[in-house]
């Protein structure tokens, strides 16, 4: 049974950092892409970053580029999103998600993802 569970969210001041974790189970990370998505109140769920389990190649949405880092530990079945220089507009529920990937670069297009975690709240406020 495929499962993804996020953790590490919370309240942080502008300019601060958070490290989100995504614990995966029920599949081999080598054959999947893991994406992080954010959904702010009243807005669509949007891709933030993704990583291919096999080779660690990554993709970032423009707002995340240069501020966020995505990484994975295949031995632990974990994927991480290190978020630095956080802004109030980063406030959202953050989800990790997975889909089976072959040779292509991972995508931030939501419809490709088959499995989703329940989400973790990130609030950036002074």
Per-residue pLDDT reduced to its tens digit, 13-48 = 999 999 999 999 999 999 999 999 999 999 999 999
Dist CA 41 CA 39 (whole Å) = 7
Residue 122 exposure: Cα atoms within 13 Å on the Cβ side:
33
- pLDDT tens digit sequence for 77-125: 999 999 999 999 999 999 999 999 999 999 999 999 999 999 999 999 9
Predicted pLDDT at 8: 98
| Average pLDDT for the chain | 97
Element (H, E) at 124: strand 120-124
The answer to whether the CB of 38 falls within 8 A of the CB of 45 is yes
- pLDDT tens digit sequence for 49-61: 999 999 999 999 9
Predicted pLDDT at 9: 98
Predicted pLDDT at 63: 95
Predicted pLDDT at 118: 98
The token pair at 29 is 């990370």
């Amino acid at each position: 049974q495929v499962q993804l569970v996020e953790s590490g969210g919370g309240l942080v001041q502008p300019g601060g950092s958070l490290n989100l974790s995504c614990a995966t189970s029920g599949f081999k990370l080598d054959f999947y892409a893991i994406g992080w998505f954010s959904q702010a109140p009243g807005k669509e769920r949007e891709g933030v970053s993704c990583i291919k389990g096999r080779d660690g190649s990554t993709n970032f949405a423009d707002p995340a580029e240069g501020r966020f880092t995505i990484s994975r530990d295949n031995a632990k079945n974990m994927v991480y999103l290190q978020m630095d220089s956080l802004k109030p507009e980063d406030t959202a529920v953050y989800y990790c998600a997975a889909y089976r990937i072959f040779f292509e670069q991972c995508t931030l297009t939501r419809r490709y993802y088959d499995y989703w975690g329940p989400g973790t709240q990130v609030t950036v406020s002074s």
